[in-house]
Amino acid sequence: MKRLIVWQKKRWESKDKKCDLLFWKTGTEHKIKGMKCFASRFGSGMRGKMDYLPQENEDSIVRTDVEYTSQRNADTIEKLAERYPFLFTGSIGSSVMGRQIPYIQIGNGDRELFYNASFHANEWITTPVLLKFAEEYAECLRTGAPLYGVDAEFLFRNFRLVMVPMVNPDGVDVVNGGLKSETYEKNAAEIAAAYPDIPFPSGWKANIEGVDLNLQFPAGWEEAKAVKAAQGFTSPAPRDYVGSAPLTAPESRAVYDFTKNNNFELILAYHTQGEVIYWKYRDYEPPRSYEIANYFGMVSGYTVEETPEASGNAGYKDWFIQEYNRPGYTIEAGLGNNPLPLNQFNRIYLDNTGILISAMTLLIT
């Protein structure tokens, strides 16, 4: 029996044609009338030509034209919660420096998802991606408007979406000048000095103690340690140091514990750069994970690939897939050298709105 996911018909205009969209699902097969036009609308075919940009005006809370620090992230989440009282906010834990790692929850449905960003400090542009999505979603709920053609109230009733926009607050502050601690600034500079080929602070990915938070998970950690040691990363570093053991970094441990304490059916881990979606860990192929990855690729214009062997262990996505046999994805947004410039934000955001929405709707069975 066909179950209607989104029954609002919407007309999008692409470069050379128009199409009507109607989302249906039969079993696990998604039938979308005008699929190519939809992919063009959200993907590479319309880059620089879209008639829609993130709604930012004088009333917008989420700034997309400024660098983010841990304080700006925290302040933004607090303001969102004040304006939209149906949002639930909290903290999954704290960083080395004692900074909270806040989350936003939207929805009260039975299907649970988890999106996170800024595991890596110089990939902080992913933080406003999740914050802007939270704001647009919440505003659509407040006004009754559709969220990119999808009934926002439908999403709210059926899903519980949890987002951590900044997993690595201390590290982001190293990159963007928000530490406000001479001691920690000195320690970070000393770590960086041992790796002169890595620019400082722009090349900093790690937490404040020089541990790569996305190489901390118990999924091939020993293999990752050997690979990174062969590359010269055997002690605290701006990037690629796996730590002394899995889950020794408090930020990674917080994400691990938070995941264990919930029942997430799908996770998205946002990174930069490459415009690539990584969907697999070793020989694990969770049900429908490849199908969903290909859909993400179509609506974003990103390529879908298996994680390269040199970086294919000890990541959050790797552990989630190994632990739960459920779909997990690392999304490498944007193109260029990290940290990506803010003038890429609109393109990154528009490339990913289809992923951020369909990650929910594709779970409906």
Determine the pLDDT at residue 54: 56
| Percent helix, percent strand, percent coil in the chain, to nearest 5 | 40, 20, 40
* Mean pLDDT score, 270-278: 98
Give the whole-angstrom CA distance, residue 323 versus residue 301.
Answer: 29
The residue written with tokens 């079993």 in the block is 27
Question: Is 61 part of any domain?
Answer: no
Q: What is the DSSP letter of 341?
A: P
Question: Is 316 part of any domain?
Answer: yes
> Which H or E run contains 73?
helix 70-83
* Mean pLDDT score, 156-176: 98
Asked if residue 91 has pLDDT above 70, the reply is yes
Active site residues: 332
Provide the number of structural domains found in the chain. 1
Determine the pLDDT at residue 5: 29
Determine the pLDDT at residue 187: 97
Confidence of residue 364 (pLDDT cuts 50, 70, 90): confident
Most confident by average pLDDT, 8-17, 23-32, 103-112: 103-112
What's at 122, amino acid-wise? N
Question: Is 290 part of any domain?
Answer: yes
Question: Is 192 part of any domain?
Answer: yes
What is the chain's alpha carbon radius of gyration, rounded to the nearest angstrom? 20
* Mean pLDDT score, 150-159: 97
Question: Is 199 part of any domain?
Answer: yes
Question: Is 14 part of any domain?
Answer: no
Give the whole-angstrom CA distance, residue 266 versus residue 1.
Answer: 24
What's at 128, amino acid-wise? P
The residue written with tokens 């928000």 in the block is 178
pTM, rounded to two decimals: 0.87
Residue 293 to residues 60, 107, 185, Cα–Cα distance (Å): 32, 24, 40
Strand partners, 18: 13
Determine the pLDDT at residue 14: 31
List the CATH number of the domain containing 154.
Answer: 3.40.630.10
Using DSSP, state whether 362 is helix, strand or coil.
coil
Question: Is 154 part of any domain?
Answer: yes
Asked if residue 215 has pLDDT above 90, the reply is yes
Give the whole-angstrom CA distance, residue 31 versus residue 12.
Answer: 17
Range of the domain at 275: 67-365
Cβ contact 234:294 at 8 Å = no
Q: Which residues lie closer than 8 Å to 203 by C-beta, 6 or more apart?
A: 122, 192, 238, 239, 338
Confidence of residue 58 (pLDDT cuts 50, 70, 90): confident
Determine the pLDDT at residue 61: 98
pLDDT digits (tens, 9 = 90+) for 224-256: 999 999 999 999 999 999 999 999 999 999 999
What's at 280, amino acid-wise? K
Q: What is the DSSP letter of 178?
A: -
Cβ contact 266:363 at 8 Å = yes
Q: How many other β-carbons are positioned within 10 Å of the β-carbon of residue 235?
A: 12
- Torsions phi, psi for 204 (to 5 deg): -80, 120
Residue 35 to residues 31, 324, 361, Cα–Cα distance (Å): 8, 31, 16
Give the whole-angstrom CA distance, residue 9 versus residue 23.
Answer: 9
The residue written with tokens 């050298």 in the block is 337
Determine the pLDDT at residue 17: 29
More confident residue, 336 or 58: 336
Q: What angle do CA 232, 309, 277 make, to 5 degrees?
A: 115
Cα 40–chain centre separation: 22
Question: Is 23 part of any domain?
Answer: no
pLDDT digits (tens, 9 = 90+) for 343-356: 999 999 999 999 99
